[in-house]
Structure 1
Amino acid sequence: MLLLAHIRESDHAEQSVQHHLEEVAALARRYGETINAGAHAELAGFLHDMGKLTVHFTHYLKNAVLENNVAKEKMDHSTAGAKYLYDSYYGQEPVQDMVIETVGMAILSHHSGLQNFVQPDLKPSDFVRRVTNGELPHYDEVVQHFESVDGNQTKVERLLNEAVQEFRSFLEKISRLDYPKVYLNLFQKLVFSCLIDADRTNTRCFEEGETVTENDSERVFKEGYRHLMGKVGAWQQDTRKLNQLRNLMSDNCDKVATDPSGIYTLTIPTGGGKTFASLRYALKHALENGMKRIIYVVPYTTILEQNAQAVRSIIQQPEAVLEHHANVIDDAQQDEGQDFYDSAEHKKMQLGRDNWDYPIIFTTMVQFLDAFYQKGTRKSRRMHRLTNSVIVFDEVQSVPFQHYALFNAAVNFLHSIGGSSIILCTATQPAVDRMTPPLNLAENAEIVPNLADVADAFKRVSVHSHVGPEGWPAERISEFAQGLLLNTNSILIILNTKTAVRKLYQLLSGQEAVRVIHLSTSMCPAHRKERLDQVKSSLGKEKVICVSTQLIEAGVDISFETVIRSLAGLDSIAQAAGRCNRNQEREVGDVHVIRAADENLSKLPEIRIGAEVTADYILADSKFKDHLLSPMALKTYFSYFQSQAKREIKVAPKGFDYPLFSLLDGSLAERQSRKTKSMGMYKTLENHFEAIDSPTTAVIVPYGEGEEIIARLNENTGDFSEFNRLLKSAQQYSVNLYQHELQALSSTGMIHPLFEAAIFCLNKQAYDPDYGVTLDGQAEQAPYQY
């Protein structure tokens, strides 16, 4: 009897277990070779579905697909391959044992997310409990079928021996680095990532009748660099001082691109052309070193959309650029222990996910951290795509304070083990080399020489402080802005909370002869882009006031004559100043710093602490009076901010007594008894990790094309390609909602779930053309008219 791994739903074609194992192994090998872990990944792929080698599973599969009759029993096919390795080869040699633990953990976790080698509650570890299970159903039959295929045993032994040599090289490399146990834990997660992506990709290709294709990144980078240098030649003819300075920054990046791989800082003042300069480095460096991807990691989707479009325009290859805004699929419940055939809905969720297989990728800091530390299998697929890449962290100061240790560990790993080159790109560079663990910056890491001189050369604004002990209510801010309009034509007002922004917008929006525009994260990306385009088209033609949350302050290419910024960290004020007189349209622009009274910052500790440090140590210090945005002022600010944040921001997550970094560096595991050489506690780490304090859920909204996307998803088409296309498009029409917002809308019937509550869609009554998502369900239905 032919033992089956999959049956295609469309035409009932069959894929045998042996073919699936061989194909996944070959694909995983390709993924793992970039980090000298090809044998680890191939061995994991070759054994991962070994537990399907039973007559019972083939009958179960045929019933599920052909008869649409899914048995209620759970089919554990993930443990057998790990148990086979452990029973056959464990205990012979220490390094070989480490390989078996690394590969075995990837195998037994491939439908659940990584498990623990060490349990915090002193119970037997997940790994030991499962590989020593003497009553695993059908195990003897599985081994008999596997070993009956000529060459299977020989292949396992060959791959195991090769993996041992890979692991010896890995141990030698990390022996010269600080925190070696961190690198071991992340290496084990990376092998897991290679397996997950190979398994899901092979299954999807079988379902769609396709073959795996490789992106031609070298061609994309060559063509992109050629187009970019063509623009450089034209821009170098521009004799204006500001553009000459931007060209100088760009030239510096081109020179450094031939230097060895490393972790570098690119401290370009706001308006200095960071996107263009970093792209010039990335394209040239990727070509010089044969790298597969260029990845931009940004704090806000607003920057993501703008910068992705700028890069498409420069390289003239729009199909080569992926924007990954948010996770439309909410699968917190989807990964845990389920097989593809628990339901057709779940199968589509598992296979219909993007795995970052593009030459150039734009994503967010949340998605980057989730690829390393979020639980389940979905986001882990992407982790291996971050290796052998040029990674540009745009506005790196936006890393959440409580996660700096995890961020630094990930970045160090990607460079030292993953072979990636890193650019930390911002106008306000935090002291990442003085954190624990520090980032292993390259020698002479700063790409821009003479930072103080460069900052002076780019100075285009004058900062005026109106900060006193009492805050300004919305009415006073409105009056102040209207007074400024007598002598200026465009004002950007940035406040710290959506509630304060909405209140001020309502006060200002009734004015005649002034276009007032609202921006916040309650609006989907497509909606925000449309509003930003309206602002840009109005500047210089009519009087404009834009009232926004901080989403506009970092990296958005827009220029106002005047900016009003509610008190925040000095880095935020500097970023806001970058939206003022950006292209030196006038001699000096004006930035006014105020204290807004309508902001509740009790649940925004980083903003609160930043505001306090700015007021107490920068605005109050006379030596910074005329140099508030200087490198020295920023350095002083970050020093005080880090000291106060360490005292006031709890690094350990709620419900846990230890920093999550202690689960990586082995310090917590060393206190526990264990029966494995590995000390990983990844399941515990992932269960407690949230990239942001208040986790959110993406909801597709009925704005523009969002209505059609919702309608198509409601039809529940069985076409995988169509489903993938809809999910990618839906990112532009999604809003991330906090749990209390989701509950409020659900209680009034304003949200409806699809695909077993894996995707959520918003009703029309809850999406306002002015404000975006509105919790009262009373949104205006007529399009907003200017």
Structure 2
Amino acid sequence: MFIAHIRKSDHVIQTVQDHLEGVAWLARRYGKLIALAAHTELSGLLHDMGKYTEAFTTYIRNAVLYDDVASTKIDHSTAGAKYLYENYYGKDPLQNLVVETVGMAILSHHSGLQNFIQPDTSQSDYIRRVTNVDLPHYQEVVANFEAVSGNVEKVTQLIEEAKKEVEEFMERIKHLNGKERTIHLNYMQKLVFSCLIDADRTDTRCFEEDTEVTLSDHSAVFEEGYKNLMNQVNEWGEAVQPIYKLRNEMSESCDRKADEASSIMTLSIPTGGGKTFASLRYALKHAMQYKKERIIYVVPYTTILEQNATAVRDIIKQPEAVLEHHANVIDDSGLDDEPDYYQEAYHKQLQLGRDNWDYPIIFTTMVQFLDAFFQKGTRKSRRLHHLTNSVIIVDEVQSVPYKHFHLFNTAMNFLQMVGNSSILLCTATQPEVAEMKYKIHLGKNAEIVPDLVKTVDAFKRVSIINKVDKGGWNLEKIASFTEEVMSENQSLLIILNTKSEVRRLYKLLEELNIAEVYHLSTSMCPAHRMEKLDKIRDKLGKERIICVSTQLIEAGVDISFESVIRSQAGLDSIAQAAGRCNRNGEREEGKVYIIRSAEENLSRLPEIRIGGEVLANYILNNEDFDGNYLSPLAIQTYFRHFDAQAGRVIKVVPPPLDCPLISHLNGRHPNAGKASTISKGMFKTVEKHFEAIESPTTSVIVPYAGGEDIIASLNQDLDIKEFSNIMKQAQQYSVNLFDYEIQKLSQNNLLVPLYDNSIYCLTERAYDEDFGVTIDGEGSMMDYNF
């Protein structure tokens, strides 16, 4: 009896054949939704074929039963790929492509995807692995695998079935140009990889937990949610305020569009137009009619995520159906290369316990979405296949990092064309995604808003006043202007571009004592920000109040101030800031003042800096747009000039590479050696150099409110299920910090590592009631003993 796993709790054995068949069964069901069932089943059947040896069985027995983990690793990830290559490669191009696709998924399932060709003339990772003549125990593996009745016949049958899937795949993408077809092939291969990773981890987790593998069906959630949403629509239909009638019209347009087949559409609702509600109405109805697996909201900032997730829970009245995924609290990037039993018990717990997005409705960030496609290793790739056969709503699409627009656009096209997902690109300021070099292939009549110019005029609730001067204003002048504005208003929102300036202005305004002042920034955990926002909402209209915030408050936060002061940034940011002023038409007209802060350091924020320059040069100084800065023509003009200037300034080639990442996926890399395979993907290189944001961050748990209990729980022994639940709760009590902040906190003894430095938490001195994370150790939170 050859062993794949031994359960730690009761020493029950899972045989290699049982594990292979279990993973194959689950992987096929994942792959069926994207017409790649044979590919994914074959990858599951062969992925751990290398465990069919006496050596591996002895190793597992010693590791689990006697805590004797051998120092020598046993490669069990290569055998299945090598077996395919030796027995089925070279027959015909279609079969070769099947062998390459499935083989790459198998040999990469612990290490992350490898390269088919290298960015130089060195040998392909794939060819090097499958032609390895010194692979230990290989002949024993083959003999034992083939000795099981039906295995060889099953492999042959699945290859024939997979060849037909390749033909169908090629038919679906034949209208694309050569570069895009190659990119889609690479994405398809990563999708097969994702199905295998998730099936493998899920089968292993269920064995460890002694539970049955189940397949989710979220249709009842969508039906109940739509019914509850329509009850809300009927209530709002009785409202007499013009703004609510306009919002109802927008949601009705989305409802009609939901009857149409899957495509990529745009929803250019002006700020305050009820975008979240309208897009949810589309998503729920479309998911019901076209049997979609889930609804996924992709948002730029965690603040939008928190509020919109709360709003959706309230509307559908099913709070347990919504997952918020802000960031990875677990820093487990170093675990992907290790086979299960080479890890300590807590490492295995980290690996199996992470979430795979198997929820009806998911809210996640743009960073997490891009990472699912392009981040290295296996931990995020596992989620990729859950983006298929779904409704994907990209909120504030203009916030995609400029340097990654080509990757983002091709990913969108793939998810719709091959992944059968319906995609809604939402924003008040649509970028020219259909005009880019790698453009998004929008559907016919893609814009849902019927008459955009008329709709923008109908939603106008503010006047935008240009106060920008060449020299800019220091903080004292901004504070003085704040006093002037507050002499005519009860509430004011001030948005600056950097956290340091927000904190300094907050302290200055507190000293002036002209109103109650609140501070908001991403230094505060989600639960803390939500509590502050609730306090602000409760006092608006009742007390004099000023909120000083970074741009996190701009998009998606349902809050309304009488006036807004916005530091110079891109037109999209100005539009979002305007959406926090007179949001529900409480007065005849609100006022938004654009200023230029002289003290902001934007050297590390090139998109904000360029956006502000384009705004000043081509919009504010253009008489054609005077008083109408948010017209569709102004937005189109802004993005045309922004794209041109950003293309000259923002580096899209990450050092030390010599060409953009997209060139490593389109088969046109200038320095690559000659391919010895049909596949030309260089995912290992892409993943090594891909960063969704310029400066990567680490998520830390903070001792704020419920965060204290989470930190205490992580100091106890937990089973995988308890650990997974705590990690989901930890999202609300975590903050993302840059490397320099982590280093300083560590130097000041304010950072506590857990789980062998895979999870971090802060001491009470590193968190402040007003500001959140305080790296100087002067936090005001109550004492907490670790």
TM bucket by the smaller chain? over 0.9
How is 1:607-626 mapped onto 2 (pairs within 5 angstroms)? 607-626=608-627
2:743 corresponds to which residue?
743
Q: CA deviation at 1:341?
A: 3.6
How is 1:50-89 mapped onto 2 (pairs within 5 angstroms)? 50-89=49-88
Find the aligned partners of 1:634 and 1:674 in 2 and give their Cα distance.
44
1:561 aligns with 2:562: yes
2:450 corresponds to which residue?
449
1:3 corresponds to which residue?
2
* Native 8 Å contact 2:36 2:192 kept in 1: yes
2:772 corresponds to which residue?
772
Find the aligned partners of 2:622 and 2:216 in 1 and give their Cα distance.
54
1:713 aligns with 2:714: yes
Superposed CA offset, 1:286-331 (max 9, x none): 1111111110000111111111111111111111111111100112
Find the aligned partners of 1:462 and 1:46 in 2 and give their Cα distance.
63
2:16 corresponds to which residue?
17
1:385 aligns with 2:386: yes
Q: CA deviation at 1:35?
A: 0.7
Find the aligned partners of 2:78 and 2:145 in 1 and give their Cα distance.
14
Q: CA deviation at 1:171?
A: 1.3
Superposed CA offset, 1:34-67 (max 9, x none): 1100000000000000000111111111111111
1:468 aligns with 2:469: yes
* Native 8 Å contact 1:769 1:780 kept in 2: yes
Find the aligned partners of 1:134 and 1:10 in 2 and give their Cα distance.
39
Q: CA deviation at 1:669?
A: 7.0
2:347 corresponds to which residue?
346
1:723 corresponds to which residue?
723
Q: CA deviation at 1:674?
A: 2.1
* Native 8 Å contact 2:483 2:514 kept in 1: no
Residue 358 of structure 2 aligns to a residue whose secondary structure is coil
Q: 1:340 to 1:420 in 2, by over 3 A?
A: farther
* Native 8 Å contact 2:254 2:448 kept in 1: yes
Letter in structure 2 aligned against 1:126: D
Letter in structure 1 aligned against 2:484: G
Find the aligned partners of 1:408 and 1:570 in 2 and give their Cα distance.
22
Find the aligned partners of 1:340 and 1:774 in 2 and give their Cα distance.
39
Superposed CA offset, 1:674-708 (max 9, x none): 21111010000000000001011101111111111
* Native 8 Å contact 1:268 1:426 kept in 2: yes
Q: CA deviation at 1:618?
A: 0.6
Residue 775 of structure 1 aligns to a residue whose secondary structure is coil
Moved over 6 A (4+): none
Residue 704 of structure 1 aligns to a residue whose secondary structure is coil
Residue 33 of structure 2 aligns to a residue whose secondary structure is helix
Letter in structure 2 aligned against 1:199: D
Superposed CA offset, 1:427-465 (max 9, x none): 111000011210000011000011111000000001111
1:103 corresponds to which residue?
102
* Native 8 Å contact 2:259 2:286 kept in 1: yes
Find the aligned partners of 1:674 and 1:428 in 2 and give their Cα distance.
43
Q: CA deviation at 1:212?
A: 1.8
1:701 corresponds to which residue?
702
2:305 corresponds to which residue?
304
1:733 aligns with 2:742: no
Letter in structure 2 aligned against 1:509: E
1:685 aligns with 2:695: no
Q: CA deviation at 1:511?
A: 4.3
Residue 511 of structure 2 aligns to a residue whose secondary structure is coil
1:755 aligns with 2:736: no
Q: CA deviation at 1:711?
A: 1.1
Letter in structure 1 aligned against 2:206: C
Find the aligned partners of 1:673 and 1:337 in 2 and give their Cα distance.
31
* Native 8 Å contact 1:117 1:128 kept in 2: yes
How is 1:156-175 mapped onto 2 (pairs within 5 angstroms)? 156-175=155-174
* Native 8 Å contact 1:51 1:81 kept in 2: yes
Letter in structure 1 aligned against 2:489: T
Find the aligned partners of 2:189 and 2:655 in 1 and give their Cα distance.
26
* Native 8 Å contact 1:472 1:596 kept in 2: yes
* Native 8 Å contact 1:250 1:276 kept in 2: yes
Find the aligned partners of 2:335 and 2:564 in 1 and give their Cα distance.
45
Q: CA deviation at 1:512?
A: 3.8
Letter in structure 2 aligned against 1:614: L
1:267 corresponds to which residue?
268
Find the aligned partners of 1:216 and 1:196 in 2 and give their Cα distance.
21
1:394 corresponds to which residue?
395
Q: Which shows bigger deviation, 676-685 or 213-222? A: 213-222
Letter in structure 2 aligned against 1:300: Y
Letter in structure 2 aligned against 1:46: L
Letter in structure 2 aligned against 1:52: K
Letter in structure 1 aligned against 2:287: A
Superposed CA offset, 1:54-86 (max 9, x none): 111111111111111211111210000000111
Find the aligned partners of 2:134 and 2:340 in 1 and give their Cα distance.
21
1:356 aligns with 2:320: no
Q: CA deviation at 1:782?
A: 4.9
Letter in structure 2 aligned against 1:502: R
Q: CA deviation at 1:215?
A: 2.4
Q: CA deviation at 1:670?
A: 8.0
Q: Which shows bigger deviation, 212-221 or 357-366? A: 212-221
Letter in structure 2 aligned against 1:106: A
Find the aligned partners of 2:527 and 2:69 in 1 and give their Cα distance.
40
Find the aligned partners of 1:86 and 1:444 in 2 and give their Cα distance.
46
Superposed CA offset, 1:450-508 (max 9, x none): 11110000000011111001111111111111221111000000000001100000101
2:526 corresponds to which residue?
525
Find the aligned partners of 1:102 and 1:141 in 2 and give their Cα distance.
25
* Native 8 Å contact 1:394 1:424 kept in 2: yes
1:225 aligns with 2:229: no
Find the aligned partners of 1:152 and 1:51 in 2 and give their Cα distance.
14
How is 1:328-347 mapped onto 2 (pairs within 5 angstroms)? 328-347=329-348
2:547 corresponds to which residue?
546
Find the aligned partners of 1:238 and 1:553 in 2 and give their Cα distance.
26
Find the aligned partners of 2:42 and 2:191 in 1 and give their Cα distance.
14
Letter in structure 2 aligned against 1:254: D
Residue 423 of structure 1 aligns to a residue whose secondary structure is strand
Identity %: 61
* Native 8 Å contact 2:120 2:671 kept in 1: no
Q: CA deviation at 1:340?
A: 4.3
Find the aligned partners of 2:705 and 2:341 in 1 and give their Cα distance.
33
Letter in structure 2 aligned against 1:751: L
Aligned length: 781
Find the aligned partners of 1:681 and 1:459 in 2 and give their Cα distance.
48
Superposed CA offset, 1:524-572 (max 9, x none): 1111111111110110110110000000001110000000000000110
2:376 corresponds to which residue?
375
Q: CA deviation at 1:216?
A: 2.6
Find the aligned partners of 2:440 and 2:560 in 1 and give their Cα distance.
34
* Native 8 Å contact 1:669 1:679 kept in 2: no
Q: CA deviation at 1:338?
A: 3.9
Superposed CA offset, 1:77-118 (max 9, x none): 000000011111111111100000000000000000000000
1:215 aligns with 2:219: no
1:573 corresponds to which residue?
574
1:41 corresponds to which residue?
40
* Native 8 Å contact 1:61 1:341 kept in 2: no
* Native 8 Å contact 1:70 1:343 kept in 2: no
Q: CA deviation at 1:510?
A: 3.0
Residue 333 of structure 1 aligns to a residue whose secondary structure is helix
* Native 8 Å contact 1:618 1:633 kept in 2: yes
1:606 aligns with 2:592: no
Q: CA deviation at 1:513?
A: 6.3
TM-score for the superposition, normalised by structure 2: 0.98
Residue 472 of structure 2 aligns to a residue whose secondary structure is coil
TM-score for the superposition, normalised by structure 1: 0.98
Find the aligned partners of 2:531 and 2:407 in 1 and give their Cα distance.
36
Find the aligned partners of 2:139 and 2:343 in 1 and give their Cα distance.
25
Letter in structure 1 aligned against 2:165: E
Letter in structure 2 aligned against 1:12: H
